[in-house]
Chains A and B, each alone.
Chain A
């Protein structure tokens, strides 16, 4: 660790992992409800569990992004964080808003809009919080000794993510319009500006761990984020096929979202090529594994599985079935969850001065989470495809179909259990590092 203020990331990482663990609990509530074990229905019905599950995901990823930024930006700018005190205020207020939102969902204090359930009053607090964060980051870059491409792409990603939150706060009277602009937030986040954050974090990790010249890595970073926006912005059209928007979105969305995998493929090839070319054999092999794993799994989950049902001819039948859940799980895991875990795995030894990346715990965590997630994706795929053919193509009743495919929910639960074991091992590994050690720096 170069700067004392970087240690503030620890709080963000710890909170992110805590929320991640809680997210899994709500996932299990839904998994068991699918096999008829819905004893919690009176207190936590499916729509509550679902809102909590997806919102915890968003909150823990954003918490992780912020932790990553507080770690990376001082390093790249080559100075202490502009105001560690402000960062602490921002941390605790973020937690307060997040926890309030999650508790509120249990009492139906929400907006019934997928992924954007946070009620309007709290939306404003989120905005204030994120502005505080961005201001702190911007001041650090501004006053810093360097303005690197990696840092600017990271900042640009975070800034546009904040700006794109606003279209989700417009009030409409028409459900069709509301849906249209909801995707400005959700799609342009995960298939747009979040990929800038992803690209920048990967680029930082590759620069640090492979020893390859920054200029080369950052050049390819530009190419990749360029491909992302070239495909991703108009790729929003794949959400507009069947929601009341004009017919030309079938073509625009189809063509451009078919190009989206290119950005992810580029990212995977770039990460692997850089790792191969890199002369330095970095001792933190687990962090390297999460970094490359992230690049590969985001291609499989977001790129390949997204492509699998993005063309209008296919999506006509799969839209609104469990096929979407198949793609969604591995996409978020590969692209964003693994990225946060990668930066945690990389930063912890430096932050604490302890070596905990050797041994079975760190290693097993990587493989069990990924095998578990592959299994879950498989279970969702089987359920989704069966649902498409039974319900959509041959007109069987929804509930009869769900009961026919119920056995695969057991497969889902089994795979999820394996995944959860891996996640807990990661948390155990994280805890074994202990608190940040700033003594050496102070001395």
Chain B
């Protein structure tokens, strides 16, 4: 029968062994971190982005590498999923992209209309996301494995997103489709854009995209502040949607 001193020896011995093993594994882990987390890419910008992440307690709603709260999306591979142009526009005023739905805090330091350093802050947080997405996370987050089987089976008549947006400029694919659909692919916040060229003239589209509030005060369509070249590309593309 186990004696009290035997039990005590079990406690002390087991604890000592496990603690030693834990410390040794930690030393090895620390030696491997630089390579696994691409420490050479841990620039000032990335660190500044992480400080924004931390200062704003982003993990109080989001998860990153699966850690945080469960109120907002997992962001480890957000650049891969959404692309930088969309994230940039989204962060300036999150609610305008999802009107009436779950809210994200609008941070003034991401809004160029309020903070002259907003663009820099956006660069930083995006640099942080770009860095974290390259960390070797042993495959997290996993790719959906049920949808792949469905997608493998041919669906008659279904156009893939790539076909639906054929000929669209990159900015359109990355940002506009967050709210608007073309050929059934895209968001449903704003109206679908199929046949938009039959409803509006070129000049109207240019004015509308450049400054939506001037055309229709109170609209939820955001002013995107596009450079003339991108605006031109988008309008030219919209003109093909007849």
Contacts and interface: CB of A to CB of B under 8 A. Distances in A.
B142 A222 contact: no
Interface string B131-145: 010011111111011
Nearest to A239: B67
B59 interface: yes
B2 interface: yes
B28 A47 contact: no
Interface string B79-106: 0000000000000000000100111010
B37 A244 contact: yes
A242 B140 contact: yes
B219 interface: no
A25 B25 CA distance: 41
Nearest to B144: A395
Contacts of B136: 244
Q: Please indicate which of the listed interface residues A38, A226, A402, A403 has the most CB atoms of chain B within 10 Å of its own CB.
A: A226
A226 B17 CA distance: 11
Interface residues of A, number: 73
A226 B10 contact: yes
B146 interface: yes
B115 interface: no
A246 B103 CA distance: 36
Contact of B146 (A41, A244, A394): A394
Given A46-B69, A393-B145, A244 B14 contact: no
B147 A394 contact: yes
Contacts, number: 199
A169 to B, nearest CB: 14
B71 A33 contact: yes
A237 to B, nearest CB: 8
A394 B64 CA distance: 20
Contacts of A200: none
B71 A46 contact: yes
Interface string A265-298: 0000000000000000000000000000000000
Contacts of A321: 70
B73 A316 contact: no
A174 B39 contact: yes
Contact of A218 (B4, B18, B63, B69): B4
A114 interface: yes
Contact of A177 (B2, B33, B146): B33
Given A47-B60, A51-B57, A394-B144, A215 B4 contact: yes
Contacts of A327: none
B208 to A, nearest CB: 27
Given A229-B15, A240-B29, A320-B66, A398 B74 contact: yes
A122 interface: no
A398 B72 contact: yes
Given A233-B18, A392-B141, A226 B7 contact: yes
B42 interface: yes
Q: Please indicate which of the listed interface residues B36, B47, B144 has the most CB atoms of chain A within 10 Å of its own CB.
A: B144
Nearest to B74: A320
A174 B50 CA distance: 8
A320 B63 contact: yes
B69 A176 contact: no
A14 interface: no
Contact of A173 (B2, B19, B47, B103): B47
A223 B36 contact: no
A274 to B, nearest CB: 15
Nearest to A38: B103
Contacts of A180: 29, 33
Contacts of A50: 60-61, 69, 71
Contacts of A316: 139-140, 142
A246 B60 contact: no
Contacts of A230: 14-15, 18
Q: Is the interface of A mostly helix, strand, loop or mixed?
A: helix
A243 B137 contact: yes
A233 B59 CA distance: 25
Contacts of A34: 71
A9 B4 CA distance: 31
Interface in A174-216: 174-177, 179-180, 215
B11 A222 contact: yes
A248 B32 CA distance: 12
Contacts of B67: 114, 179, 243, 320
Contacts of B142: 316-317, 392
B22 interface: yes
A434 interface: no
A104 to B, nearest CB: 12
Contacts of B216: none
B21 interface: yes
Nearest to B34: A174
A243 B138 CA distance: 8
Contacts of B63: 320
A53 to B, nearest CB: 10
Contacts of B147: 393-395
24 contacts: A41-B103, A45-B61, A45-B105, A47-B105, A108-B57, A112-B58, A113-B54, A149-B4, A174-B37, A175-B64, A177-B33, A179-B65, A225-B11, A226-B10, A233-B15, A234-B18, A242-B139, A244-B37, A245-B32, A246-B32, A392-B144, A393-B147, A394-B147, A395-B147
Given A112-B54, A243-B65, A244-B37, 18 more contacts: A45-B103, A46-B69, A47-B57, A47-B59, A112-B58, A114-B67, A117-B57, A174-B42, A175-B64, A176-B135, A229-B19, A230-B18, A250-B138, A316-B139, A316-B140, A324-B70, A392-B144, A402-B102
Interface of A: 30, 33-34, 36, 38, 41, 45-48, 50-51, 108, 110-114, 117, 149, 173-177, 179-180, 215, 218-220, 222-223, 225-227, 229-230, 233-234, 236-237, 240-250, 252, 256, 316-317, 319-322, 324-325, 387, 389, 392-395, 398-399, 402-403
- Top 6 A-B pairs, shortest CB-CB distance: A47-B60, A320-B66, A242-B140, A395-B144, A112-B57, A222-B7
